[in-house]
Structures are given as structure tokens and as C-alpha cells.
Amino acid sequence: MVGSDDEEDVERVIKSGVTKRAEALDKVLEDLTRHVKISDFNSIESDFTKLENEIKKCAEEMFEEKGAKLPPKVLKVFLLIEDSINDVNAEQKKKMSKINSTSYNKLKQRFKKYLSAEGEDEMNYEKQLIKWRANPVEEKKVERKEVVEVKKE
């Protein structure tokens, strides 16, 4: 049995809640982007559900105007999803597996409903996406000043 005195020094990094949520959002966006590239609608549908939850969790702290305005990285992924949904034609849909086809139909309906229902009047997600499609603006790198403690044990 190994005692705690015998273990090597291990560095633990303590992150703030905002940092953890930002990393979780980035991971979901990365997964969604990867799945959109291969047109895996089953995975896209499950990742979209995760993205909805992450947006709800971190909207107040991380997004502009108290969560009403989506950041460019989220808008880019929404644009990718919308384009992949619109790129599917009848012939491609027939070639899809049953699971992928069902997921495609569910995602198409949920995505449209989500964009039109979320956000407030002028900050409706659908309107934001249309504006961003017309004039894409790259995301400004904002450095957050965070306190990160490193403890050696």
C-alpha cells in the first residue's frame, strides 16, 4: 500500500466556473463541427442538445448583452449546421441509413424551431444568424483575467 507521503508532487489546477463552462462549450462546438463535416446527423442531433444546454448554462456570464447576443464561434457552428441541413437533397436522403434519416428530420425541425424561438426580439437567434451570414465578423480575442491557483501536494 502506497502512502500519500510516497507519491510524487502532483500539480492541481483550480479553474473558475466560467473557465470550465467556456471549455465545455468549446468542446461541444468542436464535436459539432467534426460531426457536421462527416454529415453524421445522429451525432449532430445529440451534440445540438448538448449545445442548447451549454448555451443556457453560460449565457448570462459569457455572452454579450446578458446572454441575448451569441458569440461568433456559436454563430459559425449554427451556420455549418444550417448549411449541412440545406445541402441534403432527396437522393442523398434516400441513401441515408434509417437512423441518420430520422435524426436528420428531427434536427431540421428542432434547429428551425430553436432559432426562431430563442432570443429576444431584435436579438432573436435567427436574426443574428442572418446578419452574421451577410457580414461575418471574426471573433475578437478577449483575454479574461482569471485567478488560477496551482497547488502542489
pLDDT tens for each residue of 45-94: 999 999 999 888 887 777 766 656 788 899 999 999 999 999 999 999 99
In a domain, 113, yes or no: yes
User: Residue 12, exposed/middle/buried by CB under 10 A (0-12, 13-18, 19+)?
Assistant: exposed
Q: Model pTM?
A: 0.77
Q: How far apart are the first and last CA of the chain?
A: 18
Between 24 and 3, name the one with better pLDDT.
24
Go through 106-127 and write b for each residue having 16 or more CB atoms within 10 A of its CB, e for each that does not: ebbeebeebbeebbeeebbbbe
* Cell numbers at 136, concatenated: 461575418
In a domain, 59, yes or no: yes
77-81, 134-138, 146-150: range with lowest mean pLDDT: 146-150
Task: Tell me the residue ranges of DSSP E strands in 19-120.
Answer: none
- DSSP reduced 3-state for 1: coil
- C-alpha 91/C-alpha 89 separation (Å) is 6
Measured in whole angstroms, the distance separating CA 6 from the mean position of its chain's CA atoms is 42
Find the domain containing 75 and state its range. Answer: 11-152
Beta-carbon count within 10 A of 48 CB: 23
pLDDT for 11-57, tens place per residue?
888 888 888 888 999 999 999 999 999 999 999 999 999 999 988 88
pLDDT greater than 80 at residue 146? no
Q: How many structural domains is the chain composed of? A: 1
pLDDT greater than 60 at residue 3? no
pLDDT for 108-132, tens place per residue?
999 999 988 877 766 788 888 888 8
3-state helix, strand, coil in the chain (%, to 5): 65, 5, 25
In a domain, 103, yes or no: yes
- C-alpha 101/C-alpha 94 separation (Å) is 8
pLDDT greater than 90 at residue 148? no
In a domain, 27, yes or no: yes
In a domain, 64, yes or no: yes
In a domain, 121, yes or no: yes
In a domain, 3, yes or no: no
In a domain, 144, yes or no: yes
